[in-house]
Amino acid sequence: MSGICDRRVVVVTGAGRGLGRAHALTFAAEGACVVVNDLGVGLDGTPGPDSPAARTADEIRAAGGEAIAHGGDIATSDGAASLVRAALDTYGRLDTLVNNAGFLRDRMLVNLAEDDWDAVLRVHLKGHFLTLKHAAAHWRAEAKAGRPPAARVVNTSSGAGLLGSVGQGNYSAAKAGIVALTLVAAAELARYGVQVNAIAPAARTRMTERTFAAAMAAPEDGFDAMAPENVSPLVVWLGSAASEGVTGRVFETEGGRITVMEGWRPGPTLDKAARWTAAEAGEAARELLTQATAPEPVYGA
């Protein structure tokens, strides 16, 4: 087995099922050695009875690839550190980190419990931060030792993080935070040979099966647009050396479509060169809004 990731060592979090599993299998098919991380929890983040990470790793090895399973909690510093250490101890290097782990606890804001807010932010946003922190520390040390890496990070945001999603205030905030973290990391780590990008995927997984219920039936044309495997080729390319020069970007991907997302940038502006009164500021804001592009609607609005 060989391909654009031949002998690269790739860590994928949340790789026991859904998108993460598809990413891990596709990386392996392109020649990567894969560290499959999954805590094995349910949709709400509570522990499950089986080991999906081991099943994915077994599947890769059965197909002739190389993989190990890791069941640590990447939303803890010890768990994230042990994940990086597992790659280094087993394969002697780390080339690519794919942050994918997450779960949902959806509620309208007035019904959203503090624990549900904290739990979702912890896994999605803190989980991204801790794995990135420990991987980046390794790559910085390598660069300073005269061994600059061709390292890649692919983070997982969402359309909910870019536009918002009704009933998902916690998830939307976490995914928006991941975009900002991606931009900062791309700027800070470039000097060490690390590229950091994010995807905002749409696919049918355990987390989204209710959202995409209408797309569950077998497609008549043979192309299942909601299959998670459709997202993985872009992730694998971003995680490969072939993506040289691409960093600090967010890509939306669904089915056969890939879109480069363009974030906040200055729009219409008025400058009085003096302090506004409240009434003047309001008039100026309304005038500017007539010149501005209308925002995309929030999902579910």
Per-residue pLDDT of the chain (301 residues; tens, 9 = 90+): 459 999 999 999 999 999 999 999 999 999 999 999 999 866 655 555 568 999 999 999 999 999 999 999 999 999 999 999 999 999 999 999 999 999 999 999 999 999 999 999 999 999 999 999 999 999 999 999 999 999 999 999 999 999 999 999 999 999 999 999 999 999 999 999 999 999 999 977 555 555 544 444 555 568 899 899 999 999 999 999 999 999 999 999 999 999 999 999 999 999 999 999 999 999 999 999 999 999 999 999 8
Contact 25, 17 (CB under 8 A): no
Cα 88 to chain centroid distance, Å, stands at: 22
Residue 77 in any domain: the answer is yes
Residue 290 resides in a domain:
no
Residue 31 lies in a domain: yes
The reply to whether 296 falls in a domain is no
Q: Which of 91, 175, 192, 232 is catalytic?
A: 175
- Examine residue 256 and state whether it is found in any structural domain, yes or no: yes
Domain count, the chain: 1
Residue 215: its pLDDT value, please? 45
Cα 233 from Cα 89, distance rounded (Å)? 27
Instruction: Check which CATH number belongs to the domain holding 216 and give it.
Output: 3.40.50.720
**Confidence (pLDDT) at 204:** 78
Let me know if residue 243 belongs to a domain.
yes
272 is catalytic: no
Provide the pLDDT for residue 40: 80
* Residue among 158, 165, 172, 232 flagged as catalytic: 158
Q: What distance in Å separates the CA atoms of residue 283 and residue 290, rounded to the nearest whole number? A: 11
Domain membership of residue 222 as a residue range: 9-261
Calculate the CA 239 to chain-centre distance.
12
Q: For residue 96, is it left (φ>0), alpha (ψ between -120 and 50) or beta?
A: beta
Degrees (nearest 5) of the Cα angle 84, 77, 119? 120
**pLDDT value for 214:** 47
Indicate whether 291 belongs to any domain: no
Asked if residue 285 belongs to a domain, the reply is no
CA distances from 57 to 62, 70, 90, 93 (A): 9, 9, 14, 18
Q: Quote the pLDDT of residue 105.
A: 93
Q: What is the DSSP string of 185-237?
A: HHHHHGGGTEEEEEEEEE--STTTTTTTGGG-SPPTTS--TT-GGGTHHHHHH
Per the residue annotation, which of 82, 126, 165, 171 is the catalytic one? 171
171 is catalytic: yes
Cα 9 to Cα 25: distance, rounded to the nearest angstrom:
13
